[in-house]
Structure 1
Amino acid sequence: MPNPKMSDYDETTSFLGNYGSFQILIIVLLGLSGLPCGYMGVIVVFVSDTPEHHCKVWSNSTIDGAHVEPPFHERSSWIGPDSCSRYKVRANWTGPVELGNDTEECVDGWVYSTERYTATIVSEWELVCDNAWKVPFSTSLYFVGGLFGSFISGHFSDRFGRKPVFFFTLVFIPVTALIQATSVSWVMFCIFNCLKGVVTISNYLTSLVLGAEMLSESARVSYTFLGHSLGFGLGYALLPLFAYFIRGWRMLLVASAIPGLLIVPTWWLIPESPRWLLQKGRVEEAELVIRNAAKMNRVPVPEVLFKAGECSELQPQDEAQQTFTYMDLIRTRNMRNITILGVFIWMSVAMVFYGLALNTSNLNGNIYVNCFISAAIDIGMYLATWLLVNRAPRPIFLFSSMMFCGIMLLIIKLVPEDMHLMFQVLGLLGRMGVSAAYSFMFMFFTELIPTVVRNMGLGVNSTGARIGNIISPYVIYLGVYSKILPYLIFGTFSIMAAVFSILLPNTRNSKLPDLISQTQPIRSCHCCCPKETATAQEHTTEGCKKMDKSATC
């Protein structure tokens, strides 16, 4: 009798069912862990927003012989032609202060409007005019941290376990936010913004893998959208509510730490991934997790789950006891193709997703309402994606959502710049498409990448996403020169991602792969098979897998 492989895991644990108490508990708890991840990346919309400002002027100033203190908006009009310069004062020792036509820099600093915020990092450290570049730079540093976090967390998670990495990063998300709230300088703020990016992105990716590996295919789809993504969306929706009532950036960061701290005690409820334990040969621990799950679901357990003699054969001989590295992501043709396509698609989707989110403060209207509407759209699209995801092949769904986003954003080119409402409507429609794609790609690539390198593979893809995130604040900054240009860039990348996504294999109704040899070929594989060997059987998925092993296809 052939030795069972890890691909039999789903069959072995099928007695647990799909939606018992254990599965629901995992979906809910890991979904709640997504709350901090949902707002940490975009909290800069409020923390780093630039209030209206103008140059400071001389004290006890008078115009036409009378002391004046007009409203902020009126006062700024006679102080200088713009927010970065002021009119020079004419020397007049006997009469009232007189203003000349010449201008000078704001040598005495700036005055900031307190109509919307009591303070932001911009008003506290005067990050305006010549120092305005520091605002997008500090935002990008969060994603630079995410880039490193994506890369290293995958290795640690595949080597030391999903659960330790998940909870380590879960603890340090609120810790870094609390320390960041005490920043005494812009440099200190940037350092902890980078560290916050490291742990937040690491936590989000690890929670995805941890949940996906414990659930069956049906429950895994529900977890991805109703747990993982919905928790992220609810966290994003909480942000404008927090920011509306907490107008100072320091206290807003303190409030952002609270949800993460409340989730830490779930350590005693969330187990390690049984798939990972089996892959590491820790069979007794994997069985214990499964038996506890069966007890919670109140279903009988087979007397023997994994026979001791068979467990050493959970992997083929050439992969047994092997330590996998990032090189395994490009060692075989199939795995290499998935990795390269994944990095570009994730970079494009993440750049557009976060770019449109960070652009909230530049839209007309109330910033809090705009942010909440953006979050509501995300939540609606996560639910819609959950309902539609199994009704179409995976590549077609990703293609359609990104193509829709790209078309909506490129149409903005045809809209006159004074039609602000149309800008917002098309931007929000584009947001709908990219929100669906953003939540979907996590589930899709979890199904494409095998267990032995899953966290590393998702980490590399997420590294590509962080590159897109790092670029996005600067793309938005281009809006200073042309309001339409950011939308054109985001639309172009959306369409490119849609075209590349159609090459990916369809994983709908497929088992979660565990071994690199089980990686599916991309669609172009059917074209690269030599005519003399490309029989009808070889054009099937199974045929191309066999040919991949012999390096023919």
Structure 2
Amino acid sequence: MRDYEEVTSFLGQWGPFQRLMYILLSLSSIPNGYVGMAMVFLADIPPHHCRLPFLNSSYGGPGYNLSLPTQEVKGEVILSRCSRYTERGALDAESIQSTERCLDGFVFSKERYVSTIVTEWNLVCEDAWKAPFSVTVFFFGVLTGSFLSGIISDRYGRKFIFFATMAVQTIFSVIQAASNSWEMFSVLYFIVGMGQIANYCAAFILGSELLNKSCRISFATLGVSLSYAFGYVCLPLFAYFIRDWRRLLLALSVPGFLYIPMWWFIPESPRWLLSQGRVEEAEAIISAAAKKNGITPPDVIFKRDDTAELMVTKCLIKVEIPVITLHLADAF
């Protein structure tokens, strides 16, 4: 097949079409940047101690210093976070100072947060492992999405998967904000993780195939990376002004809906269309890009023989993969 870069070289380097694709696909990585790191604020652990029903329920209320044991944390003596003295009358006089776990739940400080998932479901002490495990579940989703993104992108197209995974990331984040249990939150976070990495990969592939060599290098090294980093920068700003975890998660999800109009501006990858034998659609996209750059495209851009050759090569690759695997298995 003739070299794709050579065939489409008439489009130029940094025309309006290339600049638009560069900007839109780079901006799509902003939500990817803060989705994973949001747990730094969603699952933060405020100061806390045992709830005592017979005393004021507010954190640090009067009387708690006499009813709770103390512990030393980083050289500072504080009230115990996970134990309390056994109630008077429950045991004999010699064991009044014995301690027990927090049977009536916990009281959390609201100095920094109105609520987090930790305060929502008491993820402290015996259940302290659950908050970091939620992050592990998210990255299991990222791992799964990493394996699946390329396969489904080759099957259904770059553009469709790009927007489908963006919808998965956004919609399931909204549903996650309505979670009524830690288990539900974690399952949804797994799905969000799959959507997050699959969307990032789809944007990366789509940009690499739509842009020419010079644009592609800048897009891969600066465009998506800087946008991803900008997402990190935005996260603390959101968290500073929104101290409730449900509202914070909703606020972080809403920007995903702003990308819906991009459907009408970002085309499918002509390379992928050619690999599927859809020559007319590929030519239409290239012709539209040329007109946007103020260039008159040739009457015939891609030859059918070249496309047929590409299809044969693609089929051969698919057939050879299991054969190579079989030979490797025999070798061992």
State whether TM-score is above 0.5.
Answer: yes
Query: Aligned pair in 2 of structure 1 residues 314, 60: CA closer, same or farther (>3 Å)?
Result: closer
Amino acid at match of 2:118: V
What is the aligned partner in structure 1 of residue 11 from structure 2?
16
The one-letter code matched in structure 1 to 2:152 is F
Are 2:124 and 1:128 aligned? yes
Deviation at 1:100, TM superposition (A): 4.6
- Given candidates 179, 182, 194, the residue that maps to 2:178 is 182
Q: Deviations over 1:75-107 (max 9, x none)?
A: 569622221111234349xxxxxx953221111
The 3 A distance-change label for structure 1 pair 306 and 177 is: same
In the TM superposition, 1:120-159 aligns within 5 A as 120-159=116-155
For 1:43 and 1:326, how far apart are their aligned partners in 2?
43
The alpha carbon displacement at 1:271 in A equals 0.5
In 2, the alpha carbon distance for the partners of 1:293 and 1:303 equals 14
Matched, 1:324 2:322: no
Match of 2:35 in 1: 40
Are 1:104 and 2:100 counterparts? yes
Displacement of 1:126 in angstroms is: 0.4
Query: Residue deviations 1:277-319, cap 9 Å, x none?
Result: 112221111111111111111123223211223332236x5x2
Deviation at 1:180, TM superposition (A): 0.6
* 2: CA distance, partners of 1:207 / 1:330: 30
Per the alignment, residue 23 of structure 2 pairs with: 28
Name the CA shift for 1:172/1:79 in 2 (closer, same or farther; >3 Å): same
> Does structure 2 conserve the Cα–Cα contact (< 8 Å) formed by 1:55 and 1:80?
no
Is the contact between residue 54 and residue 112 of structure 1 (CA under 8 Å) also seen in structure 2?
yes
Could you state the TM-score of these two structures normalised by the residue count of structure 2? 0.87
Q: Is the 8 A contact 2:118 2:131 kept in 1?
A: yes
> Over the residues paired in the alignment, what is the CA RMSD in angstroms?
2.8
Partner-residue secondary structure (3-state), 1:313: helix
Residue 53 of structure 1 corresponds to: 48
Q: Compared with structure 1, are the counterparts of its residues 192 and 320 closer, same or farther at alpha carbon in structure 2 (3 Å cutoff)?
A: closer
For normalisation by structure 1, the TM-score amounts to: 0.53
SS state of the match for residue 221, structure 2? helix
Q: What's 1:87 paired with?
A: 85
Letter in 1 for 2:6: E
**Deviation for aligned residue 1:172:** 1.9
Equivalent AA in structure 1 for residue 146 of structure 2: S
Counterparts of 2:115 and 2:47, CA distance in 1: 12
**CA offset at residue 332 of structure 1?**
11
Q: Deviations over 1:45-81 (max 9, x none)?
A: 11111111111124247xxxxxx98957995696222
Contact 2:146/2:197 (8 A) holds in 1: yes
Q: Give yes or no for contact 1:69–1:75 (8 Å, CA) kept in 2.
A: no
Residues 428-467 of structure 1: pairs in structure 2 closer than 5 A: none
Indicate if the aligned counterparts of 1:277 and 1:286 stay in contact, CA closer than 8 A. yes
What CA distance in whole angstroms lies between the structure 2 residues aligned with 1:166 and 1:73?
Answer: 56
Q: Partners in 2 of 1:73 and 1:218 — Cα distance?
A: 67
> Residues 188 and 295 (structure 1 numbering): CA distance in 2 closer, same or farther, change over 3 Å?
same
Q: How many residues end up aligned between the 2 structures? A: 315
Paired AA for residue 324 in structure 1: K
For 2:268, the aligned partner's letter is E
Q: Which amino acid aligns with 2:310?
A: L
Offset of residue 120 of structure 1: 0.6
Equivalent pair of 1:32/1:263 in contact (CA under 8 Å) = no
Deviation by residue 1:420-477 (Cα, 9 ceiling, x = unmatched): xxxxxxxxxxxxxxxxxxxxxxxxxxxxxxxxxxxxxxxxxxxxxxxxxxxxxxxxxx
For residues 66 and 256 of structure 2, what CA distance do their matches in structure 1 show? Answer: 45
Q: Is 1:289 matched with 2:285?
A: yes
In 1, distance between residues paired with 2:290 and 2:236? 41
Supply the distance in 1 between the matched residues of 2:178 and 2:319 (Cα, whole angstroms).
39
Structure 2, gaps ≥5 residues long: 71-79
User: Post-superposition shift, 1:177?
Assistant: 0.8
State the partner residue of 2:158. 162
Residue number in structure 1 paired with 2:256: 260
SS of equivalent residue, structure 2 residue 306: helix
Quick check: 1:49–1:120 contact (8 Å CA) kept in 2?
Answer: yes
Once the two structures are superposed, the pairs formed by residues 186-265 of structure 1 within 5 Å of their partners are: 186-265=182-261
With over 3 angstroms needed to count, the CA separation of the structure-2 counterparts of 1:87 and 1:214, relative to structure 1, is same
Tell whether the 8 Å contact from 2:166 to 2:256 is kept in structure 1 after alignment: yes
Question: Structure 2 residue aligned with 1:117, among 113, 116, 121?
Answer: 113
How many Å apart are 1:194 and its aligned residue?
Answer: 0.9
Match of 2:299 among 296, 303, 328: 303
* Inter-CA distance 28–70: structure 2 relative to 1 (3 Å threshold): closer
Q: Deviations over 1:138-161 (max 9, x none)?
A: 111111112222222211111111
Q: Distance in 2 between matches of 1:190 and 1:18?
A: 45
Measured in 2, the distance between the counterparts of 1:266 and 1:222 equals 21
Consecutive unaligned residues of structure 1, counting only runs of 5 or more, are 62-67, 93-98, 337-553
